[in-house]
Amino acid sequence: MNSALSGVVGFLLIIGTIISYGIQFHKIIVNKSIDGINISSLVMGVISSILTMYASILLNLDELSSFTIGLDVSQLIVVCICWLSYLLIYMYHTKKPNSNSNRLLEFAYFSDMDVQDYKYTFILFCLSWIVFICFGTVSIIIPHSNVFIDIMFSTSAIMSVLQWIPQVIESYTTTIVTSSLSLITLSINTSGCILTVIYQSVINGEKVVLMIPYIVGAILQISIMVILKFKKPRAIFDDYNDLGRFDNYEDSREDVPAAVL
């Protein structure tokens, strides 16, 4: 019974992960925008998923043939692939002007900011892949090192707790553009965290302290959803519409001194 339940939960988590990240990817690609997505949160999520995946594989190296263990590890591999894909998509769109930034005035406003942020983004991008390659290599060299496994699990847990804090701050403080974060993705991820906590602590009897990263993640993602739902950021040019003109052009002329006109 417990094995069957584990299978059902495992498949639900895998399907939910693919759907949730697929929705986020679709929103970024269609809108050609990464506005409002915090790169620090993204990279911490990537590194956390990488370390969790490697640690789980090494910890269960001799039991991967078991259906339940194999399914659990597969779910972590899927999560890691999704986070890495998220990072690649983010990096790709960092090089491109946003869909709402192709107008001359807005492009000029954003260009300096983008140039400054690009170096920081690129460094974090490289750091993520360095972690992926280096820890993967070490995992091959010392696959049975309990110390190494504990280090990966501990680091992953810390990053899981911290990763959503920069995103909460950015979502709350931004006043320039509407966030590219998908509320559907956040909702599914939050549901996954809650499902994992219930399954691991109630059904499998795991210690609640081990579920802290999931609990904190769910709370912070709910906070982000509340912020995005009820906060309405103001665009830089309220009167500048999608057709490339000022709707209130005549009204704006009244506020300009005659000497300028």
Q: Give tens-digit pLDDT for 65-92.
A: 888 788 888 989 999 999 999 999 999 9
Rounded CA-CA distance 115/110 in Å is: 9
Find the domain containing 169 and state its range. Answer: 2-234
Domain annotation covers residue 246:
no
Average the pLDDT over 96-110 and give the result: 47
Work out the average pLDDT over 95-121: 57
> According to the model, what pLDDT value does residue 205 have?
66
The count of domains in the chain is 1
Percent of the chain whose predicted confidence (pLDDT) is above 70? 75
pTM over 0.95: no
List of residues 6+ apart from 101 with CB closer than 8 A? 107, 110
User: Which candidate, 165, 149, 162, places its Cα nearest to that of 213?
Assistant: 162
Whether residue 102 is predicted with pLDDT greater than 90 in this model: the reply is no
Q: Is the pLDDT of residue 131 over 90?
A: yes
Predicted confidence at residue 249, as pLDDT, reads 41
The residue with greater pLDDT, 8 or 248, is: 8
Alpha carbon distance 203, 194 (integer Å): 13
Per-residue pLDDT, 43: 96
Query: What is the residue-averaged pLDDT of the chain?
Result: 80
In a domain, 256, yes or no: no
For residue 201, is it within any domain? yes
DSSP state of 246: B
Confidence grade of residue 235 (pLDDT, cut at 50, 70, 90): very low
Low-confidence winner among 134-138, 174-178, 201-205, 255-259 (lowest mean pLDDT):
255-259
Q: Which residues make beta-bridge pairs with 240?
A: 246
pLDDT score at 51:
95
Grade residue 169 by pLDDT with cuts at 50, 70 and 90: very high
**Contact between 163 and 45 (Cβ < 8 Å):** yes
Cβ-contact 54, 152 below 8 angstroms: yes
Residue 248 placed within a domain: no
Strand-pair partners of 246: 240
Q: How many CA atoms lie within 13 A of 46 on its CB side?
A: 24
Q: Of the candidates 1, 10, 4, 7, which has an alpha carbon nearest to the alpha carbon of residue 192?
A: 10
d(CA 80, CA 51): 9
Name the amino acid, one letter, at 23: I
Per-residue pLDDT for 111 more than 80? no
d(CA 116, CA 121): 9
The answer to whether residue 255 is domain-embedded is: no
What are the φ and ψ backbone dihedral angles of 140, each rounded to 5 degrees? -75, -35
3 state DSSP class of 215: helix
| Residue 80: partners with Cβ closer than 8 Å, 6 or more residues away | 49, 50, 52, 53
Q: Residue 100: is its pLDDT beyond 80?
A: no
Residue 152 to residue 29: CA distance in whole angstroms? 32
Distances (CA, A) of 73 to 30, 88, 169: 32, 23, 32
CA-CA distance, 19 to 73, in Å (whole number)? 18
229 in a structural domain: yes
